[in-house]
Structure 1
């Protein structure tokens, strides 16, 4: 048979799925390797999707999504900016409803990257940043996030990587896998860098609802509203905020002036998102927000409980300021190959953790621990980690 295209053969394995699917084959495994919210969906969200089906409203929707849902996304975006002290006039015309944040990222990269173009992605960073760009024949270039810098990007490190082929700067705050959050000054500097070097920005803000003691600041806060000058695409999802992972629903916030181009590309990729998912999303955004408040409190409590166990074991970790993950250093046990060690640890202890190398080379020796499950499972799983006995009480890397 004919061979697959070379750029498809180069798409790397997602090590998160690799370890998680191995864990799913083990009865009673404690799965801390995947970010799947575990709360039942609110009844009004389920009812909205069911009512859509009962009405047999199963035809095409507009390429960009239901008008009411686009306005609901825009209103939430404006409100969050206002809460952070920034006024931004994004209207529904700049919102495109997508089949989850991952489709939004693919859509944005499809608009911005030609074969051979370079995209700067965080290292460590979410695996699909590299996977998606390779699928488009583009070249992902990792910019370093070092432990000694609290895993925060440095402008000079990013600027040193920019070449004549660089087209996009990828940002992610709150970070998956790190739980790190970009501060206001650094976010402004990153947007200024992109403007100075004529780069687009794609900002992945999947975890914008979950920060702890710090505000979420979107790069869009510092972008222009003038067509031809704006450069920030913002990827949003309801998968994490409301636990709608299987409904595949999110939004891409686009610079002004791209309406017709966006419709064309949406038609070519997915046409439109399923109507029941859109009505469920509308109910989530406009209805009671108890789910989000309860989830926020749960993740924070889980973070603190797991952090206490890591500290008692002498395991270094990054105090999560956002998202629902802990980033922990197991280099004392992993022997220089954390991917292999996580599989060994799963086989021996029944606990699945995401290996740090799933997120880039700087992740060697680290693991990502998901905080979104039950507290007993989390404490049981983290409690099985091997202690670093010589330095018990080492504690966190303080952001």
Structure 2
């Protein structure tokens, strides 16, 4: 058997999926590990998809997406995100993951370095390694409010650095970068002539903090923006996201999209039109649901004396269980799953600085959340 490409050995596996797949083999598991919305898809979205299938709307579409979807996204970006673009900057993708991969493929070559958040979404590092680029983590520390340290970024940047990735609202942290922080990051990117990739998949789920789209502050066309319908509209399996590019990349994007997927399936695109242009009350209801669940979870963690990061967005809780994990939270999460039948995402799956933490997904019933949290080991009582 011939050997595979040597760089494939450097692609890190997903620590989240490892827990998920182990949990699938067990009975009576409390699932708090995977970011799967627990709310139903709105009826008008389901109806649009069903109508498309029944009408046999299953032909190829333009590489960038059907015109009515791209136009709807352009309008949404202008009214909700403060981003003014034309349709040739909007590319419908196979979920947010495909959008991330596209942007990184366009900007990074073999040996190029990309600054990624740590803790941060695991796919950032996986994508970099897939294209023979080098992920360079920048630390988000609890002592700094889980915000980027510009001094550290200055120490990390080299002649090989080509891109910095930001993720706000953050997966796994639930942190939101304030506008002044984003302005500082853009100034840093401009100083070192870097591309910036902004992951804004959780844009619609914020709690007491304002989400600022990075591209709305971009003045020199260096920002790629990634959005998704997966979380906002509970359409994770439909696989519809979109990449917003700087201007002038349409011919290259058309070729790149054709080489990877050609286009996204037509019924899913028509469902996406209905989602974006239709009523948004179900999105607001989902945000309220997640906010209430977070309140339930944080109250319980307070009761148990377990430390956590107060989230400003997304539907996750970043919980400190370092008192119980013995320096290997990934191994502990597996033992905890086997013994207590609770699936949580180990913090180390999101980077070295996630060691000792876990990510809890609160897209679940309050009863499920309470059951899972009450099975966590209690922290030691000081003075005993």
Structure 1 position 93, deviation (Å)? 2.4
Residue equivalent to 1:255: 246
Tell me, in whole angstroms, the C-alpha distance in 2 between the residues paired with 1:40 and 1:309: 26
The DSSP-based 3-state class of the residue aligned with 2:237 is helix
Structure 1 position 160, deviation (Å)? 1.1
Q: For residues 193-240 of structure 1, what are the alpha-carbon distances to aligned partners after superposition, in whole Å with 9 as ceiling and x for unaligned? A: 10111000010000000010111101112112xxxx300000000000
Tell me, in whole angstroms, the C-alpha distance in 1 between the residues paired with 2:154 and 2:272: 39
Tell me, in whole angstroms, the C-alpha distance in 2 between the residues paired with 1:201 and 1:58: 35
The DSSP-based 3-state class of the residue aligned with 1:167 is strand
| 2:145 is equivalent to residue 150 of structure 1 | yes
Q: How is 1:33-182 mapped onto 2 (pairs within 5 angstroms)? A: 33-81=33-81, 87-182=82-177
Residue equivalent to 1:11: 11
Residue equivalent to 1:397: none
| 2:193 is equivalent to residue 202 of structure 1 | no
Count of residue pairs the alignment pairs up = 383
The DSSP-based 3-state class of the residue aligned with 2:38 is coil
Tell me, in whole angstroms, the C-alpha distance in 2 between the residues paired with 1:73 and 1:62: 15
Tell me, in whole angstroms, the C-alpha distance in 2 between the residues paired with 1:49 and 1:170: 33
TM-score, normalised via structure 2 length: 0.98
Structure 1 position 389, deviation (Å)? 4.0
The DSSP-based 3-state class of the residue aligned with 1:141 is strand
Tell me, in whole angstroms, the C-alpha distance in 1 between the residues paired with 2:380 and 2:2: 55
Tell me, in whole angstroms, the C-alpha distance in 2 between the residues paired with 1:316 and 1:366: 10
Residue equivalent to 2:326: 335
Is this contact kept in 2: 1:74–1:95, CA < 8 A?
A: yes
Q: How is 1:370-381 mapped onto 2 (pairs within 5 angstroms)? A: 370-381=361-372
| 2:350 is equivalent to residue 359 of structure 1 | yes
TM-score, normalised via structure 1 length: 0.94
Q: Of the candidates 208, 211, 232, which is equivalent to residue 241 of structure 1?
A: 232
The DSSP-based 3-state class of the residue aligned with 2:285 is helix
Residue equivalent to 1:296: 287
Structure 1 position 290, deviation (Å)? 2.1
The DSSP-based 3-state class of the residue aligned with 1:247 is coil
Structure 1 position 18, deviation (Å)? 0.3
The DSSP-based 3-state class of the residue aligned with 1:267 is helix
Unaligned segments of structure 1, at least 5 residues: 82-86, 393-399
Structure 1 position 391, deviation (Å)? 5.3
Is this contact kept in 2: 1:127–1:359, CA < 8 A?
A: yes
Give the aligned CA root-mean-square deviation in angstroms.
Answer: 1.1
Q: How is 1:202-351 mapped onto 2 (pairs within 5 angstroms)? A: 202-224=197-219, 229-351=220-342
The DSSP-based 3-state class of the residue aligned with 2:224 is strand
Which stretch has the larger CA shift, 361-370 or 256-265?
256-265
Tell me, in whole angstroms, the C-alpha distance in 1 between the residues paired with 2:265 and 2:382: 53
Tell me, in whole angstroms, the C-alpha distance in 2 between the residues paired with 1:391 and 1:73: 53
The DSSP-based 3-state class of the residue aligned with 1:299 is helix
Is this contact kept in 2: 1:314–1:391, CA < 8 A?
A: no
Q: For residues 51-89 of structure 1, what are the alpha-carbon distances to aligned partners after superposition, in whole Å with 9 as ceiling and x for unaligned? A: 1112211111000001110111122121223xxxxx442
Is this contact kept in 1: 2:139–2:353, CA < 8 A?
A: yes
Tell me, in whole angstroms, the C-alpha distance in 1 between the residues paired with 2:143 and 2:41: 40
Which stretch has the larger CA shift, 279-288 or 49-58?
49-58
